[in-house]
Amino acid sequence: MTRPTARAALALVLLAAIRPMPGAAQGPVSEPALAARIARLEAREDIRRLMIEYGRTLDRGDYAAYSRLFAADGEWVGSFGTFKGPAAIAAAVGKAMSAPAFAALNVGAFHLMTNAIIDIDGDHATAVSKWTFVRMVDHKPTLTYAGRYHDQFVVERGTWRFQRRVTLAATDPDPP
């Protein structure tokens, strides 16, 4: 089976196994309604993977792959500025991450992406999630930074991409 077909089959099995909550509407689910539910589940999973790939590409210093996670007019907003388009995002992140102090900080470090709440609306979506930056200090994981993301996503050429990612530290106020 291809990946989408296998995922659709798994979704059907999972949906069949789920019992409605007491008081929930009973009865058969129409094929279009079931197809729409499966599409939302697939979109949510694709977006979760995109969010994880963001951390993986960043952690391994692959800024070209990192920048391809953004739409052609995608925007990254964070502590060192606002950058629009994959080329500008790759250049800015590469420059910031290769600064001597930051490069030394990143040895053996990694991001944890958690607590994602994703809302799907057709070919657009939004999410709020948490991030934690972990460094290895004396061979022990040390939580160094933490914060949250406010994301907007779009389907571009059949693939979910970041339309806008706002990166906030834990103490930063939410965007308007």
Q: How would CATH label the architecture of 3-169?
A: Roll (3.10)
State residue 176's pLDDT score.
74
State residue 164's pLDDT score.
98
* Residue 151 · residue 130 · CB < 8 Å: no
Q: Average pLDDT in the 16-38 region? A: 70
Torsion of CA 94, 99, 100, 103, to 10 degrees: -40
Amino acid identity, position 90: A
State residue 157's pLDDT score.
96
State residue 39's pLDDT score.
93
- Residue 56 to residue 50: CA distance in whole angstroms: 10
- Which distant-in-sequence residues (6+ apart) come within 8 Å of 41 by Cβ? 11
Would you place residue 20 in the very low, low, confident or very high pLDDT band (cuts 50, 70, 90)? low
State residue 15's pLDDT score.
53
CA angle 46, 51, 54 (to 5 degrees): 125
* Model confidence pLDDT, tens digit, residues 71-110: 999 999 998 899 999 999 999 998 887 765 555 566 678 9
Q: Average pLDDT in the 39-50 region? A: 96
* Model confidence pLDDT, tens digit, residues 107-162: 678 999 999 999 999 999 999 999 999 988 888 999 989 999 999 999 999 999 99
State residue 125's pLDDT score.
98
- Residue 142 to residue 90: CA distance in whole angstroms: 27
* Model confidence pLDDT, tens digit, residues 1-16: 455 666 666 555 555 5
State residue 29's pLDDT score.
77
Residue carrying the six token digits 């799907």 = 120
